[in-house]
Amino acid sequence: MIENLPDTFLYYAYGSNLLKKRIHINNPSAVFLGIGRLDGHQLDFIKYSEHWRGTSATIVPTEKSCVWGAIWRLHNRDMPALDKQEGVDTNWYFAKTVDVVTPDGNTVQCRTYQQTINPELRKEGEELPPERRPCITYLDCIINGAKECELPEDYIEELKKIPHNGQIASPKMIEKLNRCN
């Protein structure tokens, strides 16, 4: 059973922070606890990031969708670094508390992040428009992280269908990722 401990918080990651080496760049205390499903949300991409040279992931509230992700336990001292990474100070994302359902049917409350601008909802099967596509590096972080965390196979197959924009991340981001190997 997933539970919080004193001086820690639970964080729900659905984007690049699914990948262990990615989350540990800025959040060394992160401990992977398991996976969970966020109901009533759809995974999408909207804001362009120079760092990633493509759009970054967000969750969009919607009734009929769900997003799978990782549940991490972080020490409270890492919260400012996580907020900064997510751009809370620049109004890129905002933090919110969500109820995440674990595979055993329990519900845990986690901190997660949603972009401050929501894209228009896509219809089922509608392809991501070119201007809203993530870069190859970012998408690889998400897919490899999903595999590493053992998200459901059908969800991983859906992630693999997300088109990229043909770009790779900035040299600075590539260097950060490579330093964590």
Is 124 marked active-site?
A: no
**Cα-based torsion angle of the residue sequence 102, 74, 45, 168 in order, rounded to the nearest 10 degrees:** -120
Among the listed residues 86, 124, 126, 150, the single catalytic one is 86
Name the pairing type of β-strands 54-75 and 31-49. antiparallel
Give, in order, the Cα–Cα distances in Å from 122 to each of 1, 58, 63, 68: 35, 13, 13, 18
What tokens were used for 135? 């870069």
Nearest Cα neighbor of 140 from 172, 112, 155, 162 is 162
Residues carrying an active site annotation = 86
